[in-house]
Chain A
Amino acid sequence: MNSYKFDWAVIDKYLPELLKGLWITLEVSLVGMAIALIFGLLLAMGRLSPLRLTRSVANGITQVFRSIPLFVMLFWVYYGLSLKFHVLFTEFQAGALALGITGGAYMAEVFRGGLLAVDPGQREAAMAMGISKSTTFFHVIFPQALRVVVPPSVNVYVGLLKGATIVSVIGVSDMIYVAQYVSLQTFTPFELYSVAGIVFVALTVSISGFAWMLERRLGRGRSE
């Protein structure tokens, strides 16, 4: 390391490119999270189904998709689906989908815990009034589960945000891709990757702060 000369000027020079990369990282992770929320909720509902078959299938999917490394998932979605089934995805779409599937498997567990945390008496009270199952779910159960679900969901999102850096391997020009690309020309990987790391810390801290605010807002009427 003694021979390495730090050159922070490179950051100044390539900052716009890095920020553009950051924007793509955010986009791909947010789209991935949106997919994860929907997929995860469906899986969680499947896992809480009164029907054993539905439960087993949802449990199996959760277990398998949670175990597959994101890297492998990304290759399956991007190359596997397109080569084998001729489903063509752009790099961005493949990245978001892979993140969504993996994140969904994690969210399934989060949602399941949240839904189970709601007192069964709540469902009974709604049932006793003749309120339909779906209305009970969306107006009574889900809003209460949401409070429990927010903090662990933020963890899942932070995971996806960091996981999103892996999309650089299929050529999505996210921040890591830009850092890599630039450092090949300038020979300053340390500076570039460090800045990327610091940006991620700043992001994670802001997201946690946002989650804290959200939690407080949802916290009204906390205890019965």
Chain B
Amino acid sequence: MSSPVSAPDALAPDFLKLVGVSKTFGNHRVLDKIDLAVSEGEVLVIIGPSGSGKSTLLRCINFIAAPDEGEVIFQGHSWKAMSSKYNFLANRKYEQKLTVLRSEIGMVFQNFNVFPHMTAAQNVMLGLTKVRKQSKDNARKAAVEALSQVGLAEKVDQYPEKLSGGQKQRVAIARALALQPKVMLFDEATSSLDPELVNGILEEIRRLAKAGMTMVVVTHEMNFAFQVAHRIVFMDQGRIVEIGTPDQIRKTTEPRTRSFLSAILN
């Protein structure tokens, strides 16, 4: 299981916290010592030009991309960057620890990443049976329930090839929510959808926000960002330039944020 916390600031009331998280691909430093705290029930929206490290930041939260340095603190437990990939036993334990973190954090991807060889229900059931150790019958019931909530009651036994992009993304959302995560991460969840399907998915995210779900959302939908966010993070070149409420960000005097917003809003 997860190890006790060592960092002194772990006593701070933050629900989810990144401390000094860095990530390098080759020579390119994608994230440079990011510190970020998310409170329970908060909707945090990350914006910024492409290549600014938004997606990588999101993927470092659940170690889909493992940070090179720094740690993620979640509900009082700490997950640090892996020290060596050559220590097999330590890595096994480390992987198991990560599994605990990941099972509490749901993630929705730009490309849906639904499993094409499984029906919608089977997509949802896999996590329930393998991670939550539910029986097939219970998992099936929960899957049907979760799919109904995103409006796919009729599509439970369809394979993804028969579904539209919006429906696939709903399957992905249902799949994540069925595990009853404490945080949801959305990585440009509407970017590969046809324009007429975008609002439906944004509506689902909005519904979750109203229900009090803690969320970190990377998006290019600026209107949506300003409506739904409690706080907005503006990133550029692997760093957090500015964090503020939608109002603060809208009225910002920070030149990079301003030029990004004026470019994208006009």
User: A51-B86, A143-B117 known; A127 and B111 CB under 8 Å?
Assistant: no
Most buried by A among B103, B104, B115, B175: B115
Most buried by A among B117, B130, B131: B117
B117 touches A144 (CB 8 A): yes
B138 proximal to A (CB < 8 A):
no
Shortest C-beta distance, B19 to chain A (Å), equals 21
B-side interface mostly: mixed
B215 proximal to A (CB < 8 A):
no
A56 proximal to B (CB < 8 A):
no
* Cα distance A132–B100 in the bound complex, in angstroms: 10
B95 touches A128 (CB 8 A): no
Which residues of A from 187 to 224 have beta carbons under 8 Å from B?
Answer: 220-224
Q: Which residues of B contact A224 (CB under 8 A)?
A: 111-112, 114, 116, 160-161, 168
Which residues of A from 58 to 94 have beta carbons under 8 Å from B?
Answer: none
Per-residue CB proximity of B52-78 to A under 8 Å, as 1/0?
Answer: 000000010010100000000000000
A7 proximal to B (CB < 8 A):
no
Partner of A221, one of B101, B104, B117, B127: B117
Q: Which residues of B contact A131 (CB under 8 A)?
A: 99, 126-127, 130-131
Per-residue CB proximity of B128-146 to A under 8 Å, as 1/0?
Answer: 0011000000000000000
Q: Which residues of B contact A147 (CB under 8 A)?
A: 117
Per-residue CB proximity of B32-49 to A under 8 Å, as 1/0?
Answer: 000000000000000000
Which residues of B from 102 to 126 have beta carbons under 8 Å from A?
Answer: 102-107, 109, 111-118, 126
Partner of B160, one of A121, A130, A132, A221: A221
Q: Which residues of A contact B114 (CB under 8 A)?
A: 125, 224
A135 proximal to B (CB < 8 A):
yes
B179 touches A125 (CB 8 A): no
- Give the number of chain A interface residues (Cβ < 8 Å): 26
* Cα distance A129–B178 in the bound complex, in angstroms: 10
User: A51-B85, A221-B160, A224-B161 known; A130 and B115 CB under 8 Å?
Assistant: no
Shortest C-beta distance, A212 to chain B (Å), equals 19
* Cα distance A51–B88 in the bound complex, in angstroms: 10
B232 proximal to A (CB < 8 A):
no
Which residues of B from 173 to 187 have beta carbons under 8 Å from A?
Answer: 175-176, 179, 185
Which residues of A from 114 to 128 have beta carbons under 8 Å from B?
Answer: 119, 121-122, 124-128
A130 touches B99 (CB 8 A): yes
Q: Which residues of B contact A124 (CB under 8 A)?
A: 59, 64, 109, 113
Q: Which residues of A contact B113 (CB under 8 A)?
A: 119, 121-122, 124-125
Shortest C-beta distance, A136 to chain B (Å), equals 9
A/B pair count, beta carbons within 8 Å: 91
Q: Which residues of A contact B86 (CB under 8 A)?
A: 51
* Cα distance A133–B130 in the bound complex, in angstroms: 11
A5 proximal to B (CB < 8 A):
no
* Cα distance A127–B65 in the bound complex, in angstroms: 10
Q: Which residues of B contact A13 (CB under 8 A)?
A: none
B21 proximal to A (CB < 8 A):
no
* Cα distance A223–B109 in the bound complex, in angstroms: 17
Shortest C-beta distance, B180 to chain A (Å), equals 12
* Cα distance A143–B116 in the bound complex, in angstroms: 10
Partner of A133, one of B95, B106, B111: B95
B116 touches A130 (CB 8 A): no
Per-residue CB proximity of A120-162 to B under 8 Å, as 1/0?
Answer: 0110111111111101000110011001000000000000000
Which single residue of chain A is at the shortest CB-CB distance from B110? A121
A16 proximal to B (CB < 8 A):
no
Q: Which residues of B contact A51 (CB under 8 A)?
A: 85-86
A139 touches B126 (CB 8 A): yes
Per-residue CB proximity of B164-175 to A under 8 Å, as 1/0?
Answer: 000010001001
User: A50-B85, A221-B118 known; A125 and B103 CB under 8 Å?
Assistant: no
Which residues of chain A have a CB within 8 Å of any CB of chain B?
50-51, 119, 121-122, 124-133, 135, 139-140, 143-144, 147, 220-224
- Given contact pairs A128-B102, A129-B175, enumerate 4 new A-B contacts (beta carbons under 8 Å): A51-B86, A124-B113, A128-B109, A140-B126
Those 6 A-B pairs whose CB atoms lie nearest each other, nearest first: A130-B103, A125-B113, A221-B159, A128-B107, A130-B102, A121-B113
